[in-house]
Amino acid sequence: MLEAHQLGKAYRLGETEVVALAGVDLTFPRGSITTVVGRSGCGKTTLLRLLAGLEQPTSGALRRQGGPVRTGVVFQEARLMPWLDTLGNVSFGLRRRFPASVAEERSRVALETVGLSAFADAMPSQLSGGMAQRVAIARALVTEPDLLLLDEPFAALDAFTRRAMQNELIAIWQKKRPTIVFVTHDVEEAVLLGQHVLELERGRVVGHEPVDLPFPRDPTATAVNDHRRRILANLTAPAREPETAVLPAPDKEPSR
Amino acid sequence: MPRLSTLAVFLAALAAWHVASTSGWVTPFLLPSPQAVFETLVELAGSGVLAKHTLVSLRRVASGYLLAIAFAVPVALLFSLSGALRRMIEPLLEFLRQIPPLAMMPLLILWLGIGEAQKIGIIVLSCFFPIFLGVRGGITAVDRKLIDVGTVYGFSRTEIMLRIVLPSALPSIVVGLRIGLGYSWRALVGAELIASSAGLGYMIVDAENLARTDIVLAGILVIGVLGLISDHLLRYLISRKASWLSGDLEMARA
Ligand SMILES: Nc1ncnc2c1ncn2[C@@H]1O[C@H](COP(=O)(O)OP(=O)(O)OP(=O)(O)O)[C@@H](O)[C@H]1O
Ligand SMILES: [Mg+2]
C-alpha cells in the first residue's frame, strides 16, 4: 500500500511560487490500478515524480507499507539512451541484476509484448515516436516492477495500437498484479483502465470516481459512457477556487 | 572514397600551381613547379630522409597527444565529481588557457632544454584544453531526463557516471579529441621550426636556410597529408565503434 499524506510540491519560478501539487491525501492499495486525469499543467507529472522518488515533496509525506518496492516508470517522453539499440535500451536496468544472456532473453520477451521484435537492433533515431514510446514501456515492464508509474504512455499512439496496448497492460496487471498509477488526459482511457479515477485540477484532487466494471471494458458500453460523462462534468464545472495555484513566494526555505 | 567533385577541386588547385610556376609569373625559386616538388619528394623518400623526419614527428605527436588525454580526461572527471575542487582550480586553468602555447616556448626551452621533453610539452599544452573542455562540456550538458531513468533503476553515482553520463558526453568528448589532434600537429611543427635537429618542421627550416624551396613545399605537403590521414583514422575509428555519433562528427572541423 502506498499512501500520500498532505503531499505537496511547490516550484519556485522567479519571484513567484508555483504550487504544482497542493497537499493531496491519496491511497493506492497494493495491486490496484488507479488512473489520474486532468488538464495540462494540473500536476499529474509532478504527482508521478513524487511517487517515483525522483522529487522530494515540499510538504507532507509518502508512506509505503510492506517491503521495498521495485519501481518502473514510463515517462511522458520516451527517454531512450541514444547510444543503445532497442534491445540495449530495454535491458538497460536488467544488466546489474542478471547475467547478460538472461537480461537479453527477458528483453526479447518484453519487446514481443509491445510488438517490436523486428526492431531489436534499431537505434532510437530510427524509431517513430510511438515506437520509441513502446520501447520505453517494454523497458519499464521488463523489470517486473511492483509499482508501475505511467505518464501518458499511449498519447503518441494511433487508436488501434493504443487499444492493443491498453489490453496488453490490463493483461499484465491481471497476471502480475503490480500497483499501477496511470496518468492520462483522455477521460475515456481513464475509465477503461482504472479501478479508481482521480480527477486533478490545479494541484488538487477535485474528484474520485470508482469504476467497478470487469476487464476488458468495452468503450461503447453505456456504463463506461456514464462514468466518462460524470468525470467530464466534474472537471468542466466552474472553478471551485479562485486562482490559488500561484502564490507569492514565501521568504523562507527555497523550494527545489 | 573521395567524391569526383572533391578530386576535381584538388586537381584544379594543382593545375593553378602548375600554370603559376611554369608561365614565368613567379620565379621557380619562389614557387617550384609541382613536378619539381614531386621529384624532390621521391628523392627524399628514396634516401630515407623523409621517413626519418616523419617518424620523429609522428612519435612526438603520439606521445604528446596521449599524454594530454591522460591528463585532461581524469582532471575533467574529477571536476565533474567535485564542485569544490572545480571552483578552486578552474580559474587558474582558465588563466592558463589564454596563453598561446608557442608563447611558452622560451620558458619550456629554459626548463626542459631543446630535447624531446620540450617538444612533447608544447604538444601537451596545445591539446590539453580542447580535450579537457570537450569532456567537461559533454558532462555538463548531459540530459537530466536520462539520469532520471537511472535513478528509477536505483543506480549508484558511479553507475550513473559510467552508464549514462559518459556515453552521453561522448559526442562532445570526440569533438575535443579531434580538435586536439589538429592542434597537436600545428604545435609540433611550430616547435620543430624553432629549436630542433630532426622532424618535419626541422626539415623545412633547414631547407629554407639552404634556399631549397622545393624541399620546403614537399615538407608542407607531407604535413598536410599526414594531418588528413590521422583525422580520417580517428573518424573511421569513431564510425566503427560509435556509429550513432557520425552526425556529431562534422562539428569537429577545426
Ligand atoms: N521543474 C519545474 N520547475 C518549475 N515549475 C515546474 C516544474 N515542473 C513542473 N512545474 C510546474 O508545475 C505545474 C504542474 O506541472 P506538471 O508537469 O505536473 O503538469 P501535468 O499535469 O503533467 O501537465 P501535462 O498534461 O501538460 O503534462 C505546472 O504549472 C508547471 O509549470
Ligand atoms: Mg505531464
DSSP string, B30-53: TS--HHHHHHHHHHHHHHTHHHHH
Which residues of chain B are within 8 Å of residue A73 when distances are taken between CB atoms? 148-149, 152
Tell the residue number behind the cell numbers 510488438, with chain if given: A115
Q: What is the mean pLDDT of residues B175-192?
A: 87
pLDDT computed for residue A254 by the predictor: 43
Please tell me the distance in Å from A43's CA to the nearest CA on chain B: 18
The answer on A88 and A38 residing in a single domain is: no
User: pLDDT tens digits for A145-171?
Assistant: 999 999 999 988 899 989 988 998 999
Q: What is the mean pLDDT of residues A187-200?
A: 94
The answer on A229 and A116 residing in a single domain is: no
Query: B124, B68, B107: which is closest to B195 by C-alpha?
Result: B107
Per-residue pLDDT at A239 exceeds 80: no
Domain ranges of chain B: 31-253
Q: Is A43 in the pocket of ligand 1 (CB under 6 A)?
A: yes
The answer on A205 and A254 residing in a single domain is: yes
Per-residue pLDDT at A247 exceeds 60: no
Last residue of a domain, one of A111, A144, A177: A144
Domain presence at residue A75: no
The answer on A203 and A169 residing in a single domain is: yes
Per-residue pLDDT at B16 exceeds 50: yes
Last residue of a domain, one of A98, A129, A144: A144
Domain presence at residue A229: yes
Q: Which of B146, B148, B153 to mutate to probe the A interface, most A CBs <10 Å? A: B153
Per-residue pLDDT at A252 exceeds 70: no
Per-residue pLDDT at B185 exceeds 90: no
* CA–CA–CA angle A121, A126, A127 (5° rounding): 90
Instruction: Give the C-alpha separation, B207 to B192, whole Å.
Output: 13
User: pLDDT tens digits for A95-143?
Assistant: 888 888 899 999 999 999 899 999 999 999 899 888 999 999 999 999 9
pLDDT computed for residue A192 by the predictor: 94
Domain presence at residue A167: yes
pLDDT computed for residue B246 by the predictor: 62
The answer on A242 and A225 residing in a single domain is: yes
List the CATH number of the domain containing A231.
Answer: 3.40.50.300
The answer on A182 and A62 residing in a single domain is: yes
> Over chain B, what is the mean pLDDT?
87
Instruction: Among B152, B155, B159, select the one facing A73 at the smallest CB separation.
Output: B152
C-alpha cell at B63: 606521445
What residues flank ion ligand 2 with Cβ within 5 A? Answer: A 45, 76
The answer on A153 and A48 residing in a single domain is: yes
Task: Tell me whether residues A81 and B146 touch, CB distance under 8 A.
Answer: yes
pLDDT computed for residue B46 by the predictor: 92
Instruction: Give the C-alpha separation, A186 to A206, whole Å.
Output: 17
Per-residue pLDDT at B1 exceeds 60: no
pLDDT computed for residue A21 by the predictor: 92
Confidence of residue B250 (pLDDT cuts 50, 70, 90): low
The answer on A60 and A152 residing in a single domain is: yes
pLDDT computed for residue B130 by the predictor: 93
Tell me how long chain A is: 256
Q: What range defines the domain where residue A65 resides?
A: 1-70+146-256
Domain presence at residue A91: yes
Last residue of a domain, one of A144, A170, A190: A144
Angle between the N-to-C axes of helices B213-241 and B49-81, in degrees from 0 to 180, rounded to the nearest 10: 40
> What pairs with residue A149 in β-bridges?
A73, A181
- DSSP label of B244: G
More confident residue, B248 or B58: B58
pLDDT computed for residue B9 by the predictor: 92
Q: Identify the architecture of domain B31-253 in CATH.
A: Orthogonal Bundle (1.10)
Per-residue pLDDT at A7 exceeds 80: yes
Q: Which amino acid is at A214?
A: P
Per-residue pLDDT at A242 exceeds 60: no
Instruction: Give the C-alpha separation, A201 to A234, whole Å.
Output: 10
pLDDT computed for residue B231 by the predictor: 85
Query: B191, B185, B199: which is closest to B114 by C-alpha?
Result: B191
How is the beta sheet containing A59-64 ordered, strand by strand?
A59-64, A2-13, A16-28, A246-248
User: pLDDT tens digits for B90-120?
Assistant: 899 889 889 888 888 888 888 888 888 888 9
Provide ipTM, 2 decimals: 0.84
pLDDT computed for residue B253 by the predictor: 47
pLDDT computed for residue A244 by the predictor: 45
The answer on A235 and A158 residing in a single domain is: yes
Look at chain A and report how many structural domains it folds into.
Answer: 2
Asked if residue A150 lies in contact with residue A74, where contact means CB atoms within 8 angstroms, the answer is: yes
Percent of chain B past pLDDT 90, that is, above it, reads 37
User: pLDDT tens digits for A11-69?
Assistant: 988 888 889 999 899 999 999 999 999 989 999 999 999 999 999 999 999 988 776 78
The answer on A162 and A43 residing in a single domain is: yes
The answer on A165 and A138 residing in a single domain is: no
pLDDT computed for residue A241 by the predictor: 53
Percent of chain B past pLDDT 70, that is, above it, reads 94
Percent of chain A past pLDDT 90, that is, above it, reads 62
Which residues of chain A are within 8 Å of residue B145 when distances are taken between CB atoms? 75, 77, 79
First-residue to last-residue Cα distance in chain A: 27
Q: State the DSSP H helix or E strand holding residue A17, giving kind and residue range, or none if neither.
A: strand A16-28
Instruction: Among B149, B153, B167, select the one facing A79 at the smallest CB separation.
Output: B149
The answer on A87 and A199 residing in a single domain is: no
C-alpha cell at B37: 616538388
